Amino acid sequence: MLHPLRCTLAILALIVPVRAADPADNTIKLADGVLVLTAPKDWVRKEPKSKIVEHEFAAPFVEGDATDGRITIMGAGGDVQQNIDRWAGQFTQPNGVDSKDVTKVSKKKVNGIEIHIVDIGGTYQDMPGGPFAGGKPTPREGYRMLGAIMIAPKIGNYFVKFYGPAKTVAKYEADFGKMLDGLTVAAQ
């Protein structure tokens, strides 16, 4: 005799197929799909390493670099300048200059969303498990970060952080910009 629970599960599996996240799906839906970005086709979707990260990708490294670039996307709060300063504080400079002094910041609007773009390089103090995981940071020389803070009134702020070896980040810099320029906003 068949067990009733197994029969019910088998029928449900036929009616409601379970779909795992497709690693090739580069659609990034934020705020329940109100904001949508499309990651570059070469980026590979990954399982987020931290619970606060909503989406994570890897940008394949270029020849001469040892690791992939890492892209994290999450909702976040706080003052824009404080977050820019925090990102700058994750870098040190070989000549001892304050990283805030070499951080480039620009601003643009895409479909009514204000985006602050941050570009910084140097020795990155990597916390692989995230800022709240504890542990000692690993210094990564020759790294670069492109960051975006998207200010979405009534929705919230979202951060896109792309960091890794400088040559790898440079390879995808134009794609990063195109991704931001392609931001769509659904009617609310």
Domain boundaries, the chain: 22-185
Higher pLDDT: 8 or 76? It is: 76
- For residue 77, name the pLDDT band (cuts at 50, 70, 90): confident
**Mean of all residue pLDDT scores within the chain:** 86
pTM for the predicted model, two decimal places? 0.83
Whole-number Å distance between alpha carbons of 168 and 121: 12
Q: How far is CA 132 from CA 66, 72, 135, in A?
A: 26, 15, 9
Asked which of 34-38, 53-57, 76-80 is least confident by mean pLDDT, the reply is 76-80
Annotate 174-186 with b (16+ C-beta within 10 A) or e (fewer): ebbeebbeebeee
Q: What fold is seen in the domain 22-185?
A: Protein Transport Mog1p; Chain A (3.40.1000)
Average pLDDT over residues 155-184: 96
The mean pLDDT of 171-176, rounded to a whole number, is 98
Tell how far CA 152 is from the center of its chain.
17
